[in-house]
């Protein structure tokens, strides 16, 4: 027989009711507490109501809680707990377009793009899990004056043989060399302008070279995204909208919104008083378009093609002004849907370096993380025999990178620390993976136990109840994450769940317990594993079965 301590499962503060005007603000608050508690009657769900210190205490039917919460987990491993909650009924569902990652072509994937990539993936996963049709778009930086410099530089310094052997590294070297020479060479500067003008005029030789750069880059990037477990529905880019950008210019002119500055550039006035104190340049003096002009064209094109209900851009905080201007211009042009566009910004990461101290590309970061994780796993006595230890090490290392990134507010930058990120103890991605693998091991060791009839009354310990109450908050955490698009809520929820599971492993043994108790505890662990795995997948983490 189990005896419960007389502790409350939930409390209602009468001070809050006074602030909200539900109760009189004067009078003896304790007397009000006792009178209100006496008027509330227990039922099949709330089995005891009592007055505490200026608060009303509610004790719920623990057996009913366990039954309702854990019964669905008997349906199978892929039951999506919490995602059909009534809490989500108020959410507007529809088509969400998320633009994220968006590196520049002809350059190796810099580690600085990692944040946009994993944050955008989280947002897309969260929106999709809550019933939205999600379009994941990678809007590549594949146009602009920098490609004039790269094209002119390649014509002078490039080598087709090197391009075939080590494509992005050679393009990177060419670009650095061209940049350096352009500082003191007017001829190269002019050649860069000429090459970009040839691109805008669709001259075949320039377009052919540019297309080669783009194809090489996308192929390399897809390999990187596969390592991260990320996919895109659409690979777009500035180049897709060069002609439409000219149409935008014409539309702005016809609406009387485009002005000509003293320098001959095309500008739009965004000042509230119309006094040109806040202008945005959309056209160079030579008639070529800018990044924001193409962004306007891209937004309009996407609305026409995808009929999105909301569009989310994921970039660092340095682009906040750019997106403020973009949304203002779209609204000025009469596009009311621009009010449903949103910029999710984030701070920068410092300290992501290799052992040699150099700033690295993303491939180097992943290689370094995998190597360090594999070393840590080989040193551990608890590491299981794995079919593919390198793959497991990479998945665990990536989860460590993601959790390190997601623990705090996105707006805050942070200093990257290899040792803290990859340690098994503490609140890390390694801890999440270790807990999931341990739960999977528990399931494997107790195959057949689940066939017994589930008796929720066997989960009478405080440890069981604490886990059940925590699982009950999963939908609330997802709802909060949806409201502000911050992954920290989900990360902290999962980390706490892992700590509770660690305690339960010690206090709630399955092996050696009576069959009905063993079965009930295994169902509790199964529920914890399912929620942990589901939450990890929303974060963009692939749970491992063994480690």
Q: Give the catalytic positions in this structure.
A: 107, 110, 113
3-class secondary structure per residue, 11-78: EEEHHHHHHCCCCCCCCCHHHHHHHHHHHCCCCCCEEEEEECCCEEEEEECHHHHHHHHHHHHHHCCC
**Tokens read off for 147:** 């490609």
- Classify the C-alpha dihedral 85-88-94-98 as positive or negative: negative
Report residue 456 CA to chain centroid gap: 36
SS3 104: strand
CA angle 80, 91, 64 (to 5 degrees): 45
Q: Distance between CA atoms of 140 and 239, rounded to whole angstroms?
A: 9
Q: Is 387 exposed, middle or buried (0-12, 13-18, 19+ CB in 10 A)?
A: exposed
Q: Which residue has the tokens 């007017």?
A: 186
Which residues have a Cβ under 8 Å from the Cβ of 328 and sit 6 or more positions away? 270
Rounded CA separation 398/406 (Å): 12
Element housing 278 (H / E): none
Cα dist. 50→41, 59, 494 in Å? 10, 9, 32
Residue 452 burial by CB count (10 A; 0-12/13-18/19+): exposed, middle or buried?
A: middle
CB 506 within 8 A of CB 458: no
Beta-carbon-side half-sphere exposure of residue 124 (alpha carbons within 13 Å)? 23
* Alpha carbon separation from 316 to 119, 401, 437 (Å, rounded): 11, 18, 34
Q: Which residues of 281-318 are buried (b: 16+ CB within 10 A; e: fewer)?
A: bbbbeeebbbbbbbbbbbbbbbbeebebebbbbbbbee
Residue 442 and residue 433: Cα distance in Å, rounded? 14
Q: 35-58: buried (b, 16+ CB within 10 Å) or exposed (e) per residue?
A: ebbeeeeeeeebeebbbbeebbbb
Contact (CB, 8 A) for 399 and 391: no
Q: CA-to-CA distance for 403 and 430, rounded, in angstroms?
A: 9
300 contacts 241 by C-beta, under 8 angstroms: no
What residue has token string 């095309």?
266
């Amino acid at each position: 027989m189990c005896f419960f301590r007389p502790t409350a499962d939930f409390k209602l503060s009468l001070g809050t009711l006074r602030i909200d005007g539900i109760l009189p603000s004067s009078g003896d608050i304790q007397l009000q507490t006792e009178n209100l508690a006496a008027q509330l009657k227990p039922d099949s769900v709330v089995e005891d109501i009592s007055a505490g210190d200026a608060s009303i205490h509610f004790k719920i039917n623990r057996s009913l809680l366990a039954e309702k919460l854990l019964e669905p987990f008997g349906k199978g491993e892929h039951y999506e707990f919490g995602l059909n909650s009534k809490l989500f009924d108020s959410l507007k569902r529809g088509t969400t377009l998320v633009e994220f990652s968006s590196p520049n072509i002809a350059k190796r994937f810099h580690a600085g793009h990692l944040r946009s990539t994993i944050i955008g993936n989280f947002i897309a996963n969260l929106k999709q899990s809550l019933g939205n049709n999600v379009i994941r778009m990678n809007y590549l930086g594949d146009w602009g004056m920098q490609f004039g410099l790269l094209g002119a530089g390649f014509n002078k310094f490039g080598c087709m043989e090197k391009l075939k052997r080590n494509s992005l590294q050679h393009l990177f070297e060419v670009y650095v060399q061209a940049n350096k020479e352009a500082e003191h060479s007017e001829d190269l500067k002019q050649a860069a302008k000429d090459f970009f003008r040839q691109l805008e005029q669709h001259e075949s030789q320039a377009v052919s070279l540019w297309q080669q750069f783009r194809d090489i880059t996308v192929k390399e990037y897809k390999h990187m995204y596969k390592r991260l477990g990320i996919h895109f529905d659409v690979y777009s880019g500035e180049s897709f909208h060069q002609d439409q950008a000219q149409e935008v210019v014409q539309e702005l002119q016809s609406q009387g919104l485009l002005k000509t500055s003293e320098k001959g550039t095309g500008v739009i006035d965004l000042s509230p008083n119309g006094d040109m104190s806040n202008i945005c340049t959309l056209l160079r003096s030579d008639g070529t378009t800018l990044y924001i002009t193409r962004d306007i064209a891209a937004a309009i094109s996407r609305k026409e093609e995808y009929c999105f209900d909301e569009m989310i851009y994921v970039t660092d905080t340095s682009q906040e002004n750019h997106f403020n201007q973009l949304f203002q211009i779209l609204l000025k042009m009469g596009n009311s849907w621009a009010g449903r566009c949103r910029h999710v910004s984030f701070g920068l990461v410092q300290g992501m370096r290799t052992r040699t101290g150099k700033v690295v590309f993303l491939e180097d970061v992943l290689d370094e993380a995998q190597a360090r994780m594999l070393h840590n796993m080989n040193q551990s006595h608890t590491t299981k025999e794995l079919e593919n230890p390198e793959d497991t090490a990479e998945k665990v290392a990536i989860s460590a990178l993601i959790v390190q990134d997601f623990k705090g507010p996105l707006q805050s930058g942070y200093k990257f620390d290899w040792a803290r990120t990859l340690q098994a103890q503490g609140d890390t991605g390694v801890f999440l993976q270790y807990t999931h693998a341990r739960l999977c091991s528990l399931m494997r060791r107790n195959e057949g136990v689940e066939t017994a009839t589930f008796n929720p009354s066997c989960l009478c310990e405080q440890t069981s109840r604490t886990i059940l109450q925590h699982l009950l908050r999963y939908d609330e955490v997802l709802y909060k994450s949806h409201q502000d698009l911050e992954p920290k809520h989900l990360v902290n929820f999962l980390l706490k769940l892992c700590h509770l599971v660690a305690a339960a492993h010690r206090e709630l043994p399955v092996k050696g317990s009576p069959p009905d108790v063993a079965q009930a505890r295994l169902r509790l662990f199964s529920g914890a594993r399912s929620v942990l795995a589901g939450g990890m997948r929303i974060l963009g983490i692939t749970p491992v079965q063994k480690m």
